[in-house]
């Protein structure tokens, strides 16, 4: 299990990635700690607790950084580059 400092550092890295994906308008694949996932586009602005995601199935929804395991470009987007 991660310590509080490790969780803050991981959350900070996720926030940095989300900011880049928002700025570059890159579709994302978000993996949550409970193993669910979402695909869509990051919508701004976001704050230190959460960001808004326009999921391709569920629509607009808040995603809380403490629940996010990883954020990466959608596979389809990566393969096109």
- Residue-wise pLDDT for 1-50, tens only, equals 566 666 667 778 999 999 999 999 999 999 999 999 999 999 977 788 99
All structural domains of the chain: 4-80 (2.30.30.100)
SS3 label, residue 57: coil
- Residue-wise pLDDT for 48-73, tens only, equals 899 999 999 999 999 999 999 999 99
pTM: 0.82
Determine the pLDDT at residue 11: 78
Q: What are the b/e assignments for 9-47, b being 16+ CB within 10 Å? A: ebbeebbebbeebbeeebbbbbeeeeeeebbbbbeeebe
């Amino acid at each position: 299990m991660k310590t509080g400092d490790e969780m803050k550092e991981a959350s900070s890295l996720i926030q940095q990635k989300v900011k880049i994906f928002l700025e570059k308008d890159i579709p994302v694949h978000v993996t949550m700690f409970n193993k669910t996932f979402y695909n869509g586009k990051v919508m701004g602005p976001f704050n230190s607790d959460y960001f808004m995601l326009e999921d391709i199935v569920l629509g607009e929804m808040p995603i809380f950084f403490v629940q996010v395991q990883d954020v990466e470009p959608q596979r389809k987007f990566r393969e096109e580059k």
